[in-house]
Chain A
Amino acid sequence: MYEFLRDLDRRVIFSLMALAVAVPILLQITPPEKATPIVRDAFETIEALEEGDRVYMAFDFDPASAGELQPMATAFVRHACEKKLKIYFTALWPVGPQFIKNAERDVISRDFPEMVYGENYVDLGFKTGNEGVIKLVANDLRTQYPQDARGTPIDDIPMMAGVASIRDFDVIMNVSAGYPGTKEWVQYAVASAPNDIKLVAGCTGVQAPLLYPYYPQQMSGLLAAIKGAAEYESLVLGKYGRENEPGMYQEGLRRMAPQLSGHILMVGLIFVGNLVYFMARKRGEA
């Protein structure tokens, strides 16, 4: 047994991980979720807004992290639509606009057809410059975005009237995969106007621990990894859920089942790996 474990081919471990993730997906198990305070604070920050308030929705991620972040992005957009907020979409990552278009197609056009482009939501698109974009938007948004993503001059878009900088927004809702992302929004946007603007963010698991120091003074709430997405989805569904809820709005909840089996496997692997180590030490091999 000891020799078998000591010389275990890594492809066996790969197969175990594949099974641990695949089987719950095939069985379509969806465990219930209870929101933690940091996610509830994010939810309540949006709930406190009134119809017509402006939210700056920044999609700063790419397909590599969409597995974690797409559920958050969908939940954010749906929540903003349910609250009838004015949504200003932007992206700091080159592929972000594709997710903005997906949100327009899958959430807004499908479930909120009464929303009108230019009056209820606008797509400002992607700009290069990383934190340079945030710095400019903090002072002069119209210089950074002379047109929207469809080529329409900003002055011709009704909902851009009276919008000069980030201070004219009520909340920044950011979905972030890394750099540039939530950290930069805190450093350049919130820091420039701490009393004027709030930030609610969703981030990957890798980033999450690094962002906790910003909560709650510089960041009103945080959705950390797929668990945060699942908790936020459960809150949105709890408040705004309908009959025959589309599966798209439960993507994070569905992903928690493979998370459970995957985590149990990881704990088991670490435990067995240490068992092998101590057995080797006892035999004088380590």
Chain B
Amino acid sequence: MMKRTIPMLLAMAAGIVMILAYFFPPLTPLQDKTTVWFNILAAVAFILGGGNLLKVHLKKVSDRREGWAYSMITLAAFVGVLAIGLFKIGVNPLDEFPAQRMAGDFRAEGSGFWYVYEYVFAPLTATIFSMLAFYVASAAFRAFRAKNLEAILLLGTAFVILLGRTAAGVFLTDFLPEEGILANFRLENLTVWIMNNPVTAGNRAIMIGIALGTASVSLKILLGVDRSYLGGGD
């Protein structure tokens, strides 16, 4: 009862409030209250994530598993940034309240947390994602093969988009007139047409399919048919 029934009833109640408020506007304040609580729990989930990271890496260090030295670096970075942020290290007070050091803006330029963002977090995350450009090039060379009609359609469209969205597209089909039926075959115009018509059609169908699937899964969860989120065993 405590481990399955009560959580299931909680999920049902929360979900039904969110749905009913749409059809019965007087329930909107209750829906808003529920949403405020949801948003607070979302913030606590960040703390849970941090706690889990601490647990996993501390275990790795204590067990001396392979790569434990890097776990030490992770833990040092984690504790360091946490201390800088929570204790507002390097944060100046507000001019209106100079006595309250903890009232200052923890993200203000020049604060410890700002340094962490500007010189550690931002460059590292940006660089990690920028690496994908290299791997997409390597994958394109090795894996993209025009083996059948479907693959040819995919690659042909990719070529049109890749060239049409740059000055190359304008250059390659510059010989075509700018108005009239033939203008539609200029690469830059063809790109726009492809995006507005076949791509929109395909994505619209995918969107409709996902929407129906989402509605179906949501209903199954709220009606208690799907209880996989409660976990297995007990």
Contacts and interface: CB of A to CB of B under 8 A. Distances in A.
27 contacts: A10-B142, A13-B138, A16-B137, A17-B133, A32-B167, A62-B125, A63-B121, A64-B129, A66-B126, A98-B117, A105-B109, A127-B39, A128-B45, A128-B46, A132-B39, A136-B39, A144-B36, A210-B203, A225-B165, A264-B166, A267-B159, A267-B162, A267-B163, A270-B141, A273-B144, A274-B144, A277-B146
B155 interface: yes
Interface in B138-192: 138, 140-146, 155, 158-159, 162-163, 165-168, 188, 192
A209 interface: yes
A63 B126 contact: yes
Interface in B1-57: 28, 31-32, 35-36, 38-40, 42-43, 45-46
Interface residues of B, number: 57
B130 A67 contact: yes
Contact of A14 (B94, B134, B144, B188): B134
B141 A95 contact: no
B168 A264 contact: yes
Interface in B191-234: 192, 195-196, 199-200, 203-204, 206-207
A140 B125 contact: no
A209 B196 CA distance: 9
B39 A64 contact: no
Contacts, number: 154
B166 A260 contact: yes
Contact of A213 (B28, B39, B204): B204
Interface class of chain A by DSSP: helix
Interface class of chain B by DSSP: helix
A270 B109 contact: no
Interface in A236-270: 256, 259-260, 262-267, 269-270
Contact of A269 (B42, B117, B141, B166): B141
Nearest to A206: B132
Contacts of B38: 129, 132
B99 interface: no
A65 B167 CA distance: 23
B69 interface: no
B86 interface: no
A14 B109 CA distance: 36
Contacts of A64: 125-126, 128-129
B155 A133 contact: no
B123 interface: yes
B192 A37 contact: yes
Contacts of B192: 36-38
B101 interface: no
A88 B28 CA distance: 24
Contact of A209 (B46, B123, B195): B195
Given A17-B133, A63-B122, A132-B35, A266 B199 contact: no
